[in-house]
Amino acid sequence: MKIRFSSDKKIFSQHTDGVPYLSFDMLDELGVPNLFTTRYVSYDSDAKDGRKGLRLAVMDTDDIEEAAPFVIKNRDRLARQLGSSIDCECITDQKHTNYVHVVRPEDLGPDWPGEKPLHRQYVDGMVTDIPDVLLTVFGGDCPPVYIADPVRGAIGLVHAGWKGTLGRIPAVAVANMTVRFGCDPQDMYAAIGPGVCRDCYEMGNEIYDAFAEQWSTADADRILSRYPAVDADGREIPGGKYHLDLREANLLTLLRSGIPEEHIAVSNVCTKCNADMFYSYRSGHMENEQTAMMVNRFGGR
Chain residues binding Zn ion by CB under 5 A are 197, 200, 270, 272-273
Q: Which is nearer to Zn ion, 155 or 197 (CB)?
A: 197
Q: Which is nearer to Zn ion, 284 or 299 (CB)?
A: 284
Neighbouring residues of 214: CB distance < 8 A, sequence distance ≥ 6: 166
As measured in angstroms, the least distance from the Cβ of 2 to Zn ion is 16
CA distances from 250 to 123, 181, 188, 227, 297 (A): 18, 22, 15, 21, 25
**Kindly report the CA angle at 37 between 23 and 129, in degrees rounded to 5?**
60
As measured in angstroms, the least distance from the Cβ of 80 to Zn ion is 32
What is the CB-side half-sphere exposure of residue 136 using CA atoms within 13 A? 28
Q: Which is nearer to Zn ion, 113 or 195 (CB)?
A: 195
As measured in angstroms, the least distance from the Cβ of 271 to Zn ion is 8
Neighbouring residues of 209: CB distance < 8 A, sequence distance ≥ 6: none
Q: Which is nearer to Zn ion, 21 or 201 (CB)?
A: 201
As measured in angstroms, the least distance from the Cβ of 247 to Zn ion is 11
As measured in angstroms, the least distance from the Cβ of 266 to Zn ion is 14
Q: Which is nearer to Zn ion, 25 or 202 (CB)?
A: 202
Of 108, 127, 125, 128, the closest CA to residue 116 belongs to 108
As measured in angstroms, the least distance from the Cβ of 76 to Zn ion is 32
Strands 134-139 and 125-128, how do they pair? unpaired
Q: Which is nearer to Zn ion, 93 or 199 (CB)?
A: 199
Q: For residues 116 and 225, what is the distance between their CA atoms, to the nearest angstrom?
A: 39
Instruction: Show the beta-strand stretches assigned E in 224-300.
Output: 224-230, 236-244, 264-266, 290-295
